[in-house]
């Protein structure tokens, strides 16, 4: 279970939200397994999100986790709930490209059934197949906006689409585009060599 509680929010009556490009310093580098969520991303909203495994079950004994698992737990616990932009790679999947991503971290307050903070990147790429259980690598570059509670989930759909456009455009600047080449991401050539 998440340690913190979701903040009570007033529901927005439309899709209007303010966005920023606030860079994170340092940029978290995260590695986690892709796990199943409620299956709502693609089916209800039309945006699949690769939910990352956060080891809430080791909250009291983080020393038992691998350094990678601990980094993910630390990030999930301490970061501001909201939307972030970054680069993602399904590093051991059939498609191991590094792609732009719009990521949600939080309790998805539009839906009352989410009880723990989730980390869910919507990768801005069309994958040929699902990649559950694969390892996902992520560099979180910056913060876009706090998560919001929408009275109507159709407004959430509009906001997510606009977040995607905003993140895509932001990551096209030369400085942020260069991060896709970071050695943190697994390179196919390196694997073969």
Concatenating the DSSP letter of every residue in 60-112 gives: S-GGGS-HHHHHHHHHHHHSPSEEEEEEEEETTSS---EEEEEEEEE--TTST
Closest residue to bound Mg ion by CB: 49
Among 32, 41, 139, 167, binds Mg ion (CB under 5 A): 41
CB of residue 133 to ligand ADP, shortest distance in Å: 9
Q: Residue 94's CB: how many other CB atoms inside 10 A?
A: 10
Q: Which residue is catalytic, options 7, 63, 120, 162?
A: 120
Query: Is the Cα torsion angle 5, 112, 102, 186 positive or negative in sign?
Result: positive
Contact yes or no for 123/85 (Cβ under 8 A):
no
Among 51, 89, 96, 170, binds Mg ion (CB under 5 A): 51
Query: Maximum CA pair distance of the chain?
Result: 55
Concatenating the DSSP letter of every residue in 166-183 gives: HHHHHTTSHHHHGGGG-T
Q: Does residue 98 touch ligand ADP according to CB under 6 A?
A: no
CB of residue 63 to ligand RBF, shortest distance in Å: 30
Stretch that binds ligand RBF, among 24-32, 105-113, 132-140, 176-184 (CB under 6 A): 105-113
Among 47, 49, 110, 123, binds Mg ion (CB under 5 A): 49
CB of residue 140 to ligand ADP, shortest distance in Å: 15
Among 56, 58, 111, 127, binds ligand ADP (CB under 6 A): 127
If 0-12 CB within 10 Å is exposed, 13-18 middle and 19+ buried, where does residue 106 land?
Answer: buried
* Binder of residue 125, out of ligand ADP, Mg ion, ligand RBF, none (CB less than 5 to 8 A by kind): ligand ADP
Residue 7 catalytic? no
Q: Which residues carry out catalysis?
A: 120
Q: Which residues bind ligand RBF (CB under 6 A)?
A: 37-38, 40-41, 45, 47, 49, 83, 102, 104, 108-111, 120, 122, 147-148, 156, 159-160, 163
Q: Which residues bind Mg ion (CB under 5 A)?
A: 37, 41, 49, 51, 120
């Amino acid at each position: 279970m998440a340690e913190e509680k979701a903040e009570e929010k007033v529901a927005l009556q439309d899709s209007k939200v303010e966005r920023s490009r606030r860079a994170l310093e340092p940029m978290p580098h995260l590695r986690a397994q892709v796990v199943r969520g409620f299956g709502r991303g693609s089916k209800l909203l039309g945006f699949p999100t690769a939910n990352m495994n956060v080891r809430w079950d080791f909250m009291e004994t983080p020393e038992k986790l691998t350094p990678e698992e601990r980094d993910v737990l630390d990030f999930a616990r301490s970061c501001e709930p909201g939307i972030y932009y970054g680069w993602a790679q399904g590093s051991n999947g059939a498609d191991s490209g590094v792609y732009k991503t719009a990521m949600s971290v939080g309790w998805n307050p539009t839906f009352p059934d989410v009880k723990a903070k989730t980390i869910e990147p919507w990768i801005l790429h069309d994958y040929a197949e699902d990649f559950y259980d694969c390892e996902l690598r992520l560099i979180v570059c910056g913060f876009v906006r706090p998560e919001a509670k929408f009275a109507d989930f159709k407004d959430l759909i509009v906001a997510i689409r606009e977040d995607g456009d905003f993140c895509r455009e932001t990551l096209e600047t030369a400085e942020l585009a260069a991060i896709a080449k970071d050695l943190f991401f697994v390179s196919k050539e390196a694997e073969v060599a």
